[in-house]
Amino acid sequence: MDRNVFKIRKAFLVPFMATVVLLFLLLMLSLVKGQPLEKFILTFAFVGTFAIGLEASSREITVTSDNIKIKKFFRVKSITWSNVTHLGVVDLNKKAYFLITTTKGFYFFSNMFENHALLIQRIVDKLEDKKIETEVKNYLEHPSERRSLIVICWLTVFITIIFIILKLLSV
């Protein structure tokens, strides 16, 4: 049985999870000696980024010959190919969002998945031509990579390290 599993890119998850760990460290330093507002803001930032990181690391799309399974945090949607009515794409300056419309609703995902061009190709291979937008085929000829979010994550890691150093120097 042909089965392909696609997850969120490690190039994004590594710096994002590093940010979560560094925020936790900064929060612990703040709890030792910090202002109440600082503790509140860092707690809020840590909990939010931790939740997003947990959700992003659990995302997974599995394409088989029978169906496509979209796994998100505590949810799995299984869609048979006969229920898919449309596959579309919106490409916004290196950010691509793919929309799968079915008889029971719609599902979308971005180009932040590893080998997302292969993922789209596997989906296109399973669908009839009339269900696929022309833009999807055009996208497959020139897929775009979203690197700006990865750069922003590494920049966040660097800034958080600076805050930790400043916090350690002030203690």
pTM for the full predicted model: 0.85
pLDDT, residue 146, reads 85
pLDDT in tens, 79-118: 999 999 999 999 888 899 999 999 989 999 999 999 999 9
Give the HSE-up count for residue 74: Cα atoms under 13 Å, Cβ half-sphere: 2
pLDDT, residue 171, reads 59
pLDDT, residue 1, reads 56
Task: Using DSSP, state whether 68 is helix, strand or coil.
Answer: strand
- In this prediction, the residues of the chain whose per-residue pLDDT falls under 50 are none
- Residues 3-170, CATH architecture: Roll (2.30)
First to last CA, the chain: 59
